[in-house]
Chains A and B, each alone.
Chain A
Amino acid sequence: MRHLKDSTREVIAAYGFLTPNMIGFLVFTSIPVLASLVLSFCKWDLLSGPPEFVGLENFTRLIRDPLFWQYSWNTVYLMMSIPISMAGSLILAIALNQKLKGIVFFRTVYFLPTICSGVAIYMLWKLIYNPDFGVLNTIISSTGQFFGLNLKGPYWLHDEAWAKPALMIMGVWQTVGGYNMILYLAALQGVPRDFYHAAEVDGANSWQKFWAVTWPQISPTTFFIAIMSVIGGFQAGFDPAFVMTGGGPNGSTTTLIYYLYNEAFDWNHMGYAAAIAWVLFLIVFLFTIIQWRFFNRNVHYQ
């Protein structure tokens, strides 16, 4: 090695450092992406013979598939919790930014639902939503009794109309104090003090200061969180629905990713499932492009 030029040694070293990650990258990402594109033009049940090329049939079938539209609607419906959750995160971040004692305590506590997300929490909420002995309906009827009313909570996860709102309430609880709140807190701390002083000199009250100074200053963060949440939202909904509702009642909590799971791994429709995956990809791609264009123009990291 000694007689090699430095630059040659550097190239050799570089490929050495890259190789492990590259192999994984090729085998588990690059090639599968191409393979799934090919697969989306094929019909294949994994078992009987090789994949059969069918052109655009999977996609034309998808457009005429009422389930696909129902589940797309479910996915979009569930994403309506995003603005609620974001508003909550912002309010919490503003409250935490008041230089109070115990900020670390609060930040930790608010982060707990994000940290513990997963099967255990979905099971807990399934019990909370139990119409007969779940704690939520117990609270609702106790409150009713207190005011002398006969209140009865809804059937939550067992009711087609309430299952989606139930998942959304849980989702807000899970995300409101998590990543987004911390991003907002960082953004709030980055707003220059002078701007507030200038607004105070002009006689602005807190409300006016928020809309004139804070809101425009943190808008890149808001935009970033919104886009990332939408990108995540299109791919979300499998874990909670699988554990809590099995996608029901009557398909009301089945999202696109859940449909893909059913098609691919329950019914072995690999080609059709790949087509769903590519529709998801195109949607995510669109939002990513929007974000890139916006960020390259308006935001400078580091």
Chain B
Amino acid sequence: MLLQFSKKAGVFLFLMIGALTMIGPFMWMITTSLKEAGAVFSYQKEWWTEWLPFTFKWSNYAKAWHVVPFAKFYLNSIFVSLMITVGQVGTSAMAAYAFARLNFPGRDKLFFAYLATMMVPGAVTMIPVFILLRHFGWIDTYKAMILPAMFTAYGTFMLRQFFLTLPRDLENAAKIDGCSHVGIFWRIILPLSKPALATLTTFTFMGSWMSFMWPLIVMNTQEKFTLPIGLAYFQSLHGTDWTLLMAGSVMMILPILLVFIFNQRFFVEGIKLSGIKG
């Protein structure tokens, strides 16, 4: 009994130390964001004073907000992420329904083609898509960030797998009542698939919120930047204003943290369900 208890206590201690290692850098981020600008550079520091904020210079946040058009970055990020998410979940769900429930010639071949593209690295399509967008004159527009990210084979695949697990009884009953395919999709399949849709929505939104490389490639005008490239741009302008940079970083991850904390069960289930890394 005592052995059992001390073993559990040991595991608990181990997990606590692990948790502190995970949280530590975030604590330092917050502490730094609330310091006087000069205090960051002080050489005479005790390591333990680094983890808790002793000064609360909230004006860093206000300043970071004004040095670069942070509010604009926020709006851009929200707009772009929402559009990508709506587009991706919508088109994926429709295609997934066709693959999971409807019979049409060439279905399996087409689905295999979809599957096959899942292993194509983004690097391969990046260059031709850039050239294509440039040809259309869409470089440095929101379209360039949104459209290529709106369609994925991954979303289609994941939702198809989920739709296949749904019982067919309701659909058959609806068919007998003369319900159309659109009706079945809208009134039966989608409401039954809320967990899978929520998972895909959460993954897609967070992925586009963090997306860095593609916006960096296609955007040039500061006013149209999303938060990640806006923050990198901020760094290139004010590389040593660490208090402001950290204030900006806190503001960037705050929304994503909230999304995660409220949706985390979709995350865990989503990872387990698909067995595929998001």
Contacts and interface: CB of A to CB of B under 8 A. Distances in A.
Given A277-B127, A281-B120, A239 B25 contact: no
B257 interface: yes
B81 interface: no
Contacts of B104: 10-11, 14-15
Given A24-B150, A112-B26, A179-B277, A118 B123 contact: no
A224 B271 CA distance: 13
Contacts of B167: none
Interface in A229-272: 231-232, 234-235, 238-239, 242-243, 257, 260-261, 264-265, 270
Contacts of A35: 128, 131
B28 A135 contact: yes
Given A13-B102, A120-B252, A182-B271, A273 B127 contact: yes
Given A11-B105, A46-B134, A92-B18, A111 B275 contact: no
A15 B253 CA distance: 40
A138 interface: yes
A120 B249 CA distance: 5
Interface residues of A, number: 93
Given A14-B104, A95-B14, A173-B21, A39 B128 contact: yes
B142 interface: no
Interface in B209-247: 210, 212-213, 216-217, 227-229, 231-232, 235, 242, 245-246
A212 interface: no
A87 interface: no
Contact of B103 (A7, A127, A243): A7
B95 A127 contact: no
The main secondary structure of chain B at its interface with chain A is: helix
A109 B19 contact: yes
A236 to B, nearest CB: 11
Interface stretch (B45-53, B63-71, B193-201): B45-53
Contacts of B121: 234-235, 277, 280-281, 284
A291 B224 CA distance: 41
A209 interface: no
A277 B126 contact: yes
15 contacts: A15-B104, A17-B185, A25-B114, A28-B151, A92-B18, A100-B11, A108-B264, A115-B257, A120-B250, A120-B253, A121-B25, A277-B126, A280-B123, A285-B119, A301-B275
